[in-house]
């Protein structure tokens, strides 16, 4: 499988860096002590420490792919009434972390979603919007190993179905159920197990994380979103005491919808077709982390820009152009 090649290359690079310089003890007290902002649950805190974070991300999509090939909206409208042209998904996140011990950090996340999608239908354009509370997350990070400038973390948690899955949008004078990507949540409790490996040298740091999203049962609209598997690896260079730059590779695999929402017409739009939701995507991210000191000690800012370098989509399905993640963090 192609993705295991990617994983091997990433691990190979990481091991090369590792064999060079390793500092005595891993510390989060440097700008690259937190992973690039697109990586969640990448670090633990010291006993009694709290952290709050606000994050905003925007994923922009345009164009349609079937497999890796582009498909025109005209061709899609031979099989569907409408063809999606593009979509923007804005996600705001509020996160709280607390460490009851040096080994265990607990975390919770709330999300707010804002999505808009443009479609072409019989030569006319239409747009729809959905907005509201997304799914929530409760979980933790357990520090299993901490030696030789490296840490091994065990991630665990559950995504709670607080996001709506019955968002309707007006279309041609009627209220119609918006497609799967426009819904605000999964509608199911989702287990999110994972593992994170971190390493640090004098000027470099690196890490890798594997994370799964496993959907339990089916939701109130009689379907289950596909499981997701995410593998990412990064390297960061500390340029000054307050600034680091990062590069990151990410491989994501996501399954098709099992079952179907009876309120959606799968012939209407590929976004409402349960067979057109799966695929896999390889992405490259570049980012910057800033750690403040003095009067602003405890504050951090981070920015990451992520772009696909390869997509294979069960299509026709909208292709991702880019994702931008901006975050502010405060620990005390």
Of 90-98, 239-247, 295-303, 307-315: span binding Cu ion (CB under 5 A): 90-98
Strand partners, 153: 143, 196
53 vs 71, beta carbon nearer Cu ion: 53
Closer of 153 and 182 to Cu ion (Cβ) = 153
Does 97 sit near Cu ion (CB under 5 A)?
yes
CB contact set of 85 (below 8 Å; sequence gap of 6+): 62, 73, 118, 119, 120, 125
Asked if 41 interacts with Cu ion (CB under 5 A), we say: no
Q: Which residues contact 78 (CB under 8 A, 6 or more apart)?
A: none
State yes or no: residue 51 binds Cu ion (CB under 5 A). yes
Minimal distance in Å, beta carbon 45 to Cu ion? Answer: 6
Smallest CA-to-CA distance from 198 within 145, 243, 161 is with 145
Beta bridge partners of 328: 54, 301
By CB under 5 A, which span of 72-80, 92-100, 136-144, 320-328 interacts with Cu ion?
Answer: 92-100
Contact call for residue 313 and Cu ion (CB under 5 A): no
Tell me the C-alpha to C-alpha distance, in Å, between residue 7 and each of 171, 304, 314: 44, 21, 22
Stretch that binds Cu ion, among 51-59, 112-120, 190-198, 319-327 (CB under 5 A): 51-59
Q: Which stretch, 43-51, 251-259, 295-303, 316-324, contacts Cu ion (CB under 5 A)?
A: 43-51
Give the burial class of 308: count Cβ atoms within 10 A of its Cβ; 0-12 exposed, 13-18 middle, 19 or more buried: middle
Minimum CB–partner distance for residue 62 and Cu ion (Å)? 34
Structure tokens at 35: 């992973």
Considering beta carbons, is residue 51 or 208 the nearer one to Cu ion? 51
For residue 153, state whether it binds Cu ion (rule: CB under 5 A). Answer: no
Nearest to 287 by CA among 111, 11, 37: 37
Region of residue 5 (left: phi > 0; alpha: psi -120 to 50; beta: else): alpha
Cβ proximity to Cu ion: between 304 and 314 the closer is 304
Min separation Cβ 321 and Cu ion, Å: 29
Supply the minimum distance, in Å, between the C-beta of residue 146 and Cu ion: 16
**Sequential DSSP letters for 41-104:** S-----TT-EEEEEEEEEEEEEEEEEETEEE-HHHHTTTSSEEEEEEEEEEEEEEEEE-SSSSE
When the beta carbons of 152 and 330 are compared against Cu ion, the nearer one is 330
Q: How near is the Cβ of 138 to Cu ion at its closest, in Å?
A: 15
Nearer to Cu ion, 154 or 169 (CB): 154
Q: Which residue is nearest to Cu ion (CB)?
A: 51
Give whichever of 52 and 176 is closer to Cu ion, judged by the CB atom.
Answer: 52
State which residue, 97 or 117, has the beta carbon closest to Cu ion. Answer: 97
User: Smallest distance, Å, CB 149 to Cu ion?
Assistant: 19
Determine the straight-line distance between the first and last CA of the chain, rounded to whole angstroms: 44
Kindly determine how many residues on this chain lie close enough to bind Cu ion according to the rule CB under 5 A. Answer: 2
d(CA 207, CA 158): 23
Binding site for Cu ion (CB under 5 A): 51, 97
């Amino acid at each position: 499988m192609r993705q295991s090649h990617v994983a091997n290359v990433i691990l190979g690079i990481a091991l090369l860096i590792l064999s060079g310089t390793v500092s005595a003890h891993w510390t989060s007290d440097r700008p690259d002590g937190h992973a690039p902002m697109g990586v969640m649950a990448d670090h633990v805190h010291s006993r009694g420490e709290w952290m709050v974070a606000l994050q905003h991300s925007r994923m922009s999509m345009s164009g349609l792919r079937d497999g890796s090939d582009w498909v025109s909206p005209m061709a899609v409208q031979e099989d569907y009434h409408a063809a999606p042209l593009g979509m923007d998904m804005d996600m705001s996140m509020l996160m709280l972390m607390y460490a009851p011990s040096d080994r265990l950090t607990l975390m919770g996340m709330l999300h707010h979603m804002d999505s808009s999608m443009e479609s072409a239908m019989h030569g006319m354009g239409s747009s729809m919007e959905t907005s509201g509370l997304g799914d929530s997350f409760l979980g933790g990070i357990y520090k299993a190993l901490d030696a030789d400038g490296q840490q091994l973390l065990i991630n665990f948690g559950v995504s709670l179905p607080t996001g709506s899955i019955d968002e309707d949008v007006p279309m041609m004078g009627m209220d119609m159920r918006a497609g799967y990507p426009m819904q605000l949540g999964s509608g199911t409790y989702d287990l999110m197990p994972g593992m994170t490996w971190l390493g640090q040298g004098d000027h470099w740091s690196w890490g890798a994380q594997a994370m799964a999203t496993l959907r339990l049962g089916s939701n109130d609209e009689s379907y289950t979103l596909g499981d997701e598997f995410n593998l990412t690896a990064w390297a960061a260079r500390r340029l000054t005491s307050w600034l680091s730059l990062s590069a990151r590779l990410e491989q994501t695999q996501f399954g098709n919808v099992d079952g179907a929402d009876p309120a959606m017409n799968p012939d209407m739009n590929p976004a409402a077709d349960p067979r057109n939701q799966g695929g896999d995507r390889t992405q490259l991210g570049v980012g910057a982390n800033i750690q403040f000191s003095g009067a602003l000690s405890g504050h951090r800012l981070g920015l990451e820009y992520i772009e696909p370098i390869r997509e294979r989509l069960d299509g026709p399905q909208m292709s991702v152009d880019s994702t931008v993640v901006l975050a502010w963090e405060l620990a005390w």
